[in-house]
Structure 1
């Protein structure tokens, strides 16, 4: 058994199996047991090189096993690095990791991961993923390695050294024409998602804001009191209604920005849809009995729990299919349609920015540039003009 000195550590290299094993004594642990670091290889030279690297890592404070892989780092991050994040966010990040990161990079030892590995991986993904998705996937790897760094599992974060390439062209958001919007509203009437579609189309709220809307944030105007009161206290037997968009389907239930906290008066069609939806939900609550989970949500499942975004997307695709416009539509495009319809009706861009909760017109112009017309009255008044005669036309 050969003894050698590596740095300040005494090491031994000895035959074992079909190769050699090297061991470094690290003294005794708190439990009194001897601590040893081992490395294996086919030749003594290979084992010695591995021991030298292990000593360098020890002196740099790196504590990870040489077998600690990218998969281990990503799984550790998913398990420990997402505290306080919503269930939807954790699920999304897990899917990105298990679909795009682990299959290609998972088996690589974390300490052996190089910038070239990351570059090649991203270039391959760029051929089929949109740039925004590519950035999210790259971020998963960077954040996983960053956590490993903080826990002395690796010395540097090679994923931080690589620039995210431009991905494939993503699917651009589009807007319904007025005729398509009419068809969607018609097709949605038998659906439990009808009020959701009407509210989203006629107020422009985000899908995450719609899913988080509570009944105590649906309010009616009481002329005698000269103030808005929750419909949970005063009911629906009033003329004017509004919604407080103060919450969102995100951690802490906060809206996207402070500017996103806004009060929107409802057009008549939306108020009628909410009135009918409230009655339908009361019947569902009665039917569910003790199984009902009361979250006071306007839009929820048949037992009162929050709606899942994926289920909303599937239900909306059925509606657009029945409307005769195909299935390549997403709920968020109701918001784009709101902007487009207001713009067509001559609503100023400053007003549109306020209605959709943007901090300024630049965001509106950038995100919704394809939906804006050269010339752009307020949301509820305009939507009453656009959709207010819909029932009368159908009855003629």
Structure 2
């Protein structure tokens, strides 16, 4: 017998009725009564013909005897395959979807992979849509699509049952979320932030367009006061480690990562207003380092707690809300809104699209152009007032 190829059993030339055939022996599982391996022989006049017949057989009969359930397969796929390639935050999201949508749903968890087809998943989808949004169900199905894709690679199934699922068209009017406040309101916000312990990190979002994780990861060496520039080359996220404590609660940690795109590594001008604020923060950090000695977490962070460790990633939003209230600004902003405001400010000052993209780290024009289009709607309406004025 010849060494087997990928997906084949033992193979070699055999004689049947005085003629030679290339035979491939494959295993179809175990007989539940005898415990013996069930084998099938595939014959061809040539190796090529036998392999083609094997391929056709696998296509038509693959995994018919496989007893893997979606729940067990998805669990092993998540923890042993996807965990290696997903960001920690993405893995936590996917693992949560597995627990909340698959594990507790017997129609998914206990169903054999080989028994799941598109129509079956469509019925599951329709049922879920009664109590969930289209977006939530699409997220689940996108994860299932990736899972079934791996099942195809491992010869568990032949086709991806997620392909072909349809969703209802949503004609509901989507309420536009306000992400901008006027220049005068921005100035009032800056006044309201004076003396706030998180003034610096909020202003760096407003005046430089940094993402929260990028701002939290900033270190002293990233600020060049002489040349008035900020280097952005990392980000931090508070993510699940994949472990649980004795009370079955998830254990989290701050994890520093490099940006997912090369464009996110960038240099941004340092606003003059931020110089004394950042210098005061750095001075205070150095004082705390001397004060606490070995108790100080020397991560060289700019925005940190008294002992040098990372701030709570929810705090900047809380302090922003407080400052908005103090400034009597009713628009409901969150930290990422500051980035939107920064981009809009750049557009209003006729800064080139390429420069804006470089400053905020956008890999393509799509996101920047969406904000640009929003800004221009108002600008264009104001321009049209010149036409109205001609006939008044």
**TM-score, length of structure 1 as denominator length:** 0.63
CA distance change for structure 1 residues 364 and 282 in 2, over 3 Å: closer, same or farther? same
Structure 1 unaligned blocks of 5 or more: 1-6, 13-21, 29-55, 222-227, 229-240, 376-396
The residue aligned with 2:117 is 114
Secondary structure of the corresponding residue to residue 180 of structure 2 = coil
Q: Provide the residue aligned with 1:52 in structure 2.
A: none
> Could you tell me how far apart the structure 1 residues matched to 2:309 and 2:60 are?
51
The CA deviation string for residues 184-216 of structure 1, in whole angstroms up to 9 with x for no partner, is: 333433443221111111011223322332221
2:231 to 234, 244, 255: 244
Is 1:271 matched with 2:275?
yes
Residues 317, 327 of structure 1: 8 Å contact kept: no
- Matched position secondary structure for 1:111: helix
Question: Which moves more between the two structures, 158-167 or 269-278?
Answer: 158-167
Provide the rounded CA distance (Å) in 2 between the counterparts of 1:368 and 1:257: 22
- Displacement of 1:82 in angstroms is 1.6
Structure 1 residue matching 2:273: 3-state secondary structure? helix
Within-5 A mapping of 1:68-83? 68=69, 70-80=70-80, 81-83=82-84
The 1:148/1:183 distance shift into structure 2, 3 A limit, reads: farther
Q: Give the equivalent residue in structure 2 for 1:378.
A: none
Q: Distance in 1 between matches of 2:183 and 2:369?
A: 21
Q: Give the structure 2 partner of residue 158 of structure 1.
A: 161
Q: 1:27 to 1:353 in 2, by over 3 A?
A: closer
Q: Counterparts of 2:77 and 2:306 in 1: how far apart (Å)?
A: 35
Structure 1's 178 and 87: CA in aligned 2 closer, same or farther, altered over 3 A?
same
Q: 1:368 to 1:170 in 2, by over 3 A?
A: farther
Q: Distance in 1 between matches of 2:319 and 2:65?
A: 50
Q: Extract unaligned runs of 5+ from structure 2.
A: 1-25, 39-57, 238-254, 381-392
- What's the counterpart of residue 384 of structure 1? none
How far is 1:219 from its partner?
Answer: 0.9
User: What CA distance in whole angstroms lies between the structure 1 residues aligned with 2:112 and 2:123?
Assistant: 16
Query: CA separation of 1:200/1:8 partners in 2, compared to 1, >3 Å: closer, same or farther?
Result: closer
Give how far 1:305 is off.
4.0
1:318-347 CA distance string (max 9 Å, x none): 444444445842211101111222333343
**1:1-396 alignment runs, 5 A limit:** 23=33, 25-27=35-37, 60=62, 64-66=66-68, 68=69, 70-80=70-80, 81-104=82-105, 105-123=108-126, 124-125=128-129, 128-129=132-133, 131=135, 135-162=138-165, 169=174, 172=177, 174-221=179-226, 228=227, 241-249=228-236, 253-286=257-290, 289-307=293-311, 309-325=313-329, 328-359=332-363, 361-372=365-376, 374=379
Q: CA deviation at 1:116?
A: 3.0
Deviation readout 1:210-263 (Å, 9 max, x if unpaired): 233222111122xxxxxx5xxxxxxxxxxxx21012333479833343333321
**Residue range with higher mean Cα deviation, 303-312 or 341-350:** 303-312
Q: What is the rounded CA distance, in whole Å, between the counterparts of 2:206 and 2:151 in structure 1?
A: 45
Distance change >3 Å, CA 295–CA 100, structure 1 → 2: farther
Tell whether the 8 Å contact from 2:289 to 2:308 is kept in structure 1 after alignment. Answer: yes
Structure 2: distance between partners of 1:193 and 1:63: 61
Shift of 1:309: 4.3
- Cα 1:170–1:269 change in 2 (3 A) is same
In the alignment, the residues of structure 2 paired with residue 57 and residue 208 of structure 1 have an alpha-carbon distance, to the nearest angstrom, of 47
Matched residue SS, 2:351: coil
Give the C-alpha shift of residue 303 in structure 1: 4.2
Cα gap change, 1:130 to 1:9, in 2 (>3 Å): closer
- Aligned-partner Cα distance in 2 for 1:9–1:278: 68
Q: Give the Cα–Cα distance (whole angstroms) in 1 for the partners of residues 101 and 337 of structure 2.
A: 27
Is the 1:339–1:371 contact (alpha carbons within 8 Å) kept by the matching residues of 2? no
